Amino acid sequence: MTGSKFKIDLLLPVKEAFSPANAGAVATIVHDLVTESSSEDDVRVVGRTIEAPFEGVNFCGLKPKMAWLFGKNDGFMAAYLDQLKTHPAPDLIEVHGRCHVASQLIKKRPDIPVSLYLHNDPRTMKGAKTVGEREWLLNGLIQIICVSDYIRRCFLEGLDNDNALIAKVNVVPNGVSRRLKSPAKKEPLIFLAGRMVPEKGILECAQALADILPSFPEWRLVIAGGRRFEQAEAGSYEAKVARALSPLGDQVEMTGFIPIDAVRGWQERAAIAACPSLWEEPLGKVVVEAIAAGCAVLTTRRGGIPEVAEGRALIIDKPSVSSLRVGFEQLLSDDKLRLDLQTKAWANFPFTSTAMANKVVALRHMAINAALHGHRV
């Protein structure tokens, strides 16, 4: 890192609302990267136009250009390129989560270094599904930042391990800022936050808890989340979860979607937090949040989750209704195990927002300086 002050644009996926009311995972991460770093760079977040964006951040809202023709993401990129024609070019464009947008920016603005910040498996994304596409990105991008080593391995799958360019593919886990100075007094509460989609394992978790929670009448279960990052009518999956939980009566509450501040509040109160993903989770920011809050966390060995949860949580190797039931029974009946996990979560937490944001700043500066000297990092 140098003492220079650079101009950097962070491009959000068009679906992300950069707002405290409706921020998704990527918008929340980008907000923390800007507000928690010690950098003096001129950082601008560029996203779709919204009514009430996060305060204290330089945000530029753009309306996708001719979305009916280009599609929303390409229309958003077209609007951004139009704006660049009348504004000073940044020293770096950091594209979050859209491989084909990064690819097009490399082609259309070869004079500006472009980096890619991967929050999900690129092998499922337009512009990075094939080995050839990922190799092209590796050559054209100034830098790639992945939220986990699992995502890094996904990007590099099939590429030549001897290629010196793979050194530009870096890992920085998602960070979380602790709101408490000391561990909170925990309540007999199990908290589960996540989108209401099958791959998150919420139904299996509900079925497991419906079997055992009546044996622990002093405990409550709170489930927060909807299909999208906004208030919306419950869908068929939520209905299945609600039916599975119906035997619990007043022991359970389903809140629907709630803003991130409310999620953090529940995590700080809960003795146990469940993160029962069935799919290969890129990292699982909710896992990091629950560990930061000092919860005894029950989670799964999926994707990048073990990179933050190993030694700090109870990890289910093969998630199913029966294995989740066993895990919950352990945490509910074994006070020592539960308290031990809470202590470990609080005492061993290196994933602070400031530490992770400053790692990203250092990588950005390295990339910009490399571009200024005419070579790739």
pLDDT in tens, 46-92: 999 999 999 999 999 999 988 777 788 899 999 999 999 999 999 99
The verdict on 131 and 75 lying in the same domain is yes
367/290 same-domain check: no
- Are residues 273 and 167 part of one domain? no
Q: Are residues 62 and 200 in the same domain?
A: no
Q: Are residues 129 and 198 in the same domain?
A: no
Residue 2 lies in a domain: no
Q: What is the pTM of this model?
A: 0.93
Q: Residue 377: inside a domain, yes or no?
A: no
> pLDDT class for 162, splitting at 50, 70, 90?
confident
269-280 per-residue burial string, b: 16 or more CB within 10 A, e: under 16: bbbbbbbbbbee
The model's confidence at residue 16, banded by pLDDT at 50, 70 and 90, is: very high
Residues 204 and 333 in one domain: yes
Looking at the structure, tell me whether residues 245 and 336 fall in a common domain. Answer: yes
CATH of the domain at 117: 3.40.50.2000
State the total domains in the chain. 2
What is the per-residue pLDDT across 305-347, written as a single tens digit (0 to 9) for each? 999 999 999 999 999 999 999 999 999 999 999 999 999 999 9
Tell me how long the chain is.
377
Q: Residue 68: what pLDDT?
A: 78
Cα angle, residue 364 at apex, residues 361 and 367 outer, rounded to 5°: 150
Say if 180 falls within a structural domain.
Answer: no
Structure tokens at 50: 């919204």
Q: Say whether 292 sits in a helix, a strand or coil.
A: helix
Question: pLDDT digits over 17-48, tens only?
Answer: 999 988 888 999 999 999 999 999 999 999 99
Is there a single domain that holds both residue 29 and residue 133?
yes
Q: Does residue 329 share a domain with residue 209?
A: yes
E strand spans, 225-312? 252-256, 270-275, 296-300
What count of other Cβ atoms lies within 10 Å of the Cβ of residue 254?
A: 19
* Co-location of 43 and 140 in the same domain: yes
Within this chain, do residues 164 and 136 fall inside the same structural domain, yes or no? Answer: yes
pLDDT in tens, 277-312: 999 999 989 999 999 999 999 999 999 999 999 999
Are 113 and 28 part of one and the same domain? yes
Burial status of residue 259 (CB atoms within 10 A of its CB: 0-12, 13-18, 19 or more): middle
Residue 114 counted as domain residue: yes
pLDDT score recorded for residue 231:
56
Range of the domain at 217: 187-347
- What is the per-residue pLDDT for 304? 98
Give residue-wise pLDDT tens across range 86-124: 999 999 999 999 999 999 999 999 999 999 999 999 999
Task: Give the tens place of pLDDT for each residue, 185-213.
Answer: 999 999 999 999 999 999 999 999 999 99
Convert 120-140 to b/e letters by CB count within 10 Å (16 or more is b): bbbbebebbeeeebbbebbeb
**Residue 2: its pLDDT value, please?**
44
CA atoms of 241 and 223, how far apart (whole Å) = 10
- The pair of structure tokens assigned to 363 is 């990588």
Q: Do the domain assignments include residue 1?
A: no
Judge whether 326 lies within some domain: yes
Whole-number pLDDT of residue 23: 87
Please answer whether residues 309 and 302 qualify as being in contact, where contact means their C-beta atoms are separated by less than 8 angstroms.
no
